[in-house]
Structure 1
Amino acid sequence: MKYDLRFPVVIAALLVVGLMTVSTAALSPRASSGVFNKQLMGVALAAVPIALLWWAGRDRIYRAAPYLYGLALLMQLSTFVIGKEVNGQRNWIVIGPLQFQPLEILKFALILMLAVTLREGSRAPERTCGCWRCSCRRWGWWSSRISAGRWCYA
């Protein structure tokens, strides 16, 4: 498989520029001491999924999108039970030193699901004659109960 290295190089350059910006801001006397370390941990944790997505390829990502979307929805719903309150909103999940909002993962999963939906929607529909029996065929197993198995094949 041939990989295009321009995309990872641009991402790495942006991450380095971001780290340099945070390091200069961390030198300010008003900044807390762990700002740079927290940003570095975030970059390191983000590098793993980015590398996995790049390695997986488009088809695997499209197949995994519904599962990622379901997982993101479950994580978002889990904030009602295990969410930590920050600034009056209980929508943060804390795992050790890592604190994140599942909504950010849900945004990414929604974008993937929209891409999958648009991709699947662009395929040509099954050719039918337009009668109710042919249109019911698209609805699955229960449609045969409606029409008693009498289909007109156009």
Structure 2
Amino acid sequence: MSALGSVEPLKVSVVTPREAAAREYLLSAGRPLTRQQLRDIVDNTHKLHVEFAEIPMNFIDPKELDIPNHSTKNRYKTILPNPHSRVILKSKSCNDLLSSYINANYIRGYLGDSRAFIATQGPMVNTVIDFWQMAWQEESPVIVMITKLKEKNEVI
């Protein structure tokens, strides 16, 4: 399995039944666990790895975003926000779609809240202001980084 940043989406404009099923799965899948079920998974991580491997890849066609020059705000060209759940920055100018764009998505929470969390890329030099605008706008009480501080020998 290669790194996500190096995976390129297929250049196919036709949505196959498998892709449609995968998209539906990603939009609706959820399996809340009891505390005991979570403890059992911790004791047998193999089942968790198998379940994770079954999750279909989620590639978004850049054309779906319909925002000119959005690629200038993406750390990787193949990791894009899902249009159905992406965070939209409040912009002073409704004519400038790029100022409302950030590579971030709302994530459903454990109890079904559709906007419990936000997943986003690490901010780049040209997106730091957008990142903090999003944190302020969404009243984020906590920010958690789950990646390394270095990426290809570059400090993030």
Do the two structures share a fold, i.e. TM-score over 0.5? no
Query: Looking at both structures, which has the greater relative contact order when contacts are Cα pairs under 8 Å and sequence separation is at least 6?
Result: 2
Which TM bucket (shorter chain)? under 0.3
Q: TM-score, normalised by structure 1?
A: 0.23
